[in-house]
């Protein structure tokens, strides 16, 4: 078969790395990079470290409003699909690249396969939530990472074509953790000791674009006694400077500000952190995989499994809650095997390859 895979953002590169290689052993894959993440630190380095094949098409869309970005993507993807005439289009996650690819394929009557279908935050003010819901409802094959994801889809009337596969990010985590241990020198470069620091990331619009929320998070970071390594997303950097917060953070004795890292360095910082502070769904899972307590700077999460097992806590942007969690939060629960066994990429390719019946939900883990 010919399969067009759509990627455009850091989390999708990580997921595609575990599917693309296996897919190309059997089928013809055409990789399309929308250019949603175009910064070297958020794009190029991931292709290099993860040994992702160079994309056959790079649309170079770049940053703009959600509507404009998605429209530009759809125009470029449509041209690719009309020319390539694929049997399937494969999309990942919940970004504008995801919905852009899925909508374009649906209008051309090309079946859509969605990796990471079913997670819900139950908050439609979040653009990514809307992207994932719409993509799920127009997909033919839905690869759900957890049982809760399967249950969410069933509640919305989606049962045909749903496969419980596990989470492909666990595949990447297990494979590249070993590589990171051999190649990454980030701890030495930053003068860090294992479990001697907190790792922080902030990138969600509700935290960066609302000054009150970002200021509250910054004040919480400044109030902490522990060293915080703060990986600053380009959007966050822009907002910190806009609100006059950057210099304060830069001069703070307990803050180490760094640019976004490649996957290997990011894994090493995650696995060796004392705690994680983040609004990233992907990092919440990587913290869980690493058995590192996670403090989520949001009011909801797409990964309630991490809350149920006691390894994640929601604090939003509230300064007092953030500081209290840094000081007192300690996981009490035992982790379950809720994200699969690290063979999700293989399962996804098998489902696509074997033309399995899609009239029933299959539990494949």
How far apart CA 330 and CA 310 sit, in angstroms, is: 8
Residues in the chain: 365
Spatial CA neighbour of 228 closest among 273, 268, 262: 273
DSSP bridge partners of 258? 231
Q: Any idea what DSSP says for residue 64? A: -
Helix axis angle, 281-290 relative to 168-183, nearest 10°?
70
How far apart CA 244 and CA 358 sit, in angstroms, is: 54
How far apart CA 108 and CA 95 sit, in angstroms, is: 20
Choosing from 66, 203, 233, 274, the catalytic residue is 203
Contact 279, 296 (CB under 8 A): yes
How far apart CA 57 and CA 71 sit, in angstroms, is: 17
- Cβ neighbours, 10 Å, residue 298: 22
Name the token pair of 18.
């575990």
Helix axis angle, 281-290 relative to 263-272, nearest 10°?
60
Contact 269, 286 (CB under 8 A): no
Is 203 marked active-site? yes
Q: Give residue for tokens 């994932």.
A: 132
E strands, the chain, in order: 2-7, 28-33, 57-58, 88-92, 112-115, 141-144, 162-164, 198-202, 228-232, 255-258, 275-278, 294-296, 312-314, 362-363
Q: Give residue for tokens 């899925």.
A: 102
∠ Cα 323 122 162 (to 5°):
125
3-class DSSP assignment, residue 144: strand
- Please name the residues in contact with 328: beta carbons below 8 A apart, sequence gap of 6 or more: none
Helix (H) and strand (E) counts for the chain?
A: 17, 14
Residues designated as active site: 203
């Amino acid at each position: 078969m010919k399969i067009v895979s759509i990627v455009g953002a850091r989390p999708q590169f990580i997921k595609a790395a575990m599917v693309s290689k296996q897919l190309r052993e059997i089928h013809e894959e055409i990789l399309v990079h929308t250019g949603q993440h175009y910064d070297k630190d958020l794009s190029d380095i991931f292709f290099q470290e993860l040994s992702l094949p160079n994309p056959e098409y790079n649309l170079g869309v770049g940053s703009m409003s959600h509507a404009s970005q998605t429209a530009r993507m759809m125009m470029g993807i449509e041209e690719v699909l009309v020319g390539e005439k694929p049997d399937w289009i494969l999309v990942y996650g919940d970004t504008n690249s995801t919905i852009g690819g899925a909508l374009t394929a649906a209008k051309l009557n090309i079946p859509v396969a969605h990796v990471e279908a079913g997670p819900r935050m139950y908050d439609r003010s979040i653009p990514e939530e809307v992207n994932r819901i719409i993509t799920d409802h127009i997909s033919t094959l839905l690869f759900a990472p957890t049982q809760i994801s399967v249950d969410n889809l069933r509640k919305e009337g989606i049962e045909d074509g749903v496969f419980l596969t596990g989470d492909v990010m666990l595949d990447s985590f297990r494979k590249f953790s070993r590589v990171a241990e051999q190649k990454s020198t980030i701890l030495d470069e930053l003068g860090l000791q294992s479990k001697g620091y907190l790792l922080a990331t902030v990138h969600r619009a509700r935290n960066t674009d609302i000054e009150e929320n970002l200021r509250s998070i910054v004040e919480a970071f400044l109030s902490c006694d522990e060293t915080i390594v703060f990986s600053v997303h380009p959007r966050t950097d822009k907002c910190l400077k806009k609100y006059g917060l950057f210099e304060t953070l830069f001069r703070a004795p307990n803050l180490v500000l760094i640019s976004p890292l490649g996957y290997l360095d990011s894994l090493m910082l995650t696995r060796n952190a004392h705690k994680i502070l983040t609004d990233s769904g992907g990092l919440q899972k990587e913290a869980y995989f690493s058995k590192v307590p996670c403090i989520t700077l949001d009011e909801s999460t797409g990964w309630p499994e991490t809350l149920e097992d006691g390894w994640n806590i929601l604090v939003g942007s509230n300064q007092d809650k953030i500081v209290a969690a840094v000081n007192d939060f300690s996981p009490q629960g035992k982790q379950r095997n809720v994200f699969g066994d690290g063979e999700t990429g293989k399962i996804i390719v098998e489902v696509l390859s074997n033309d399995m019946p899609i009239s029933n939900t299959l539990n494949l883990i």
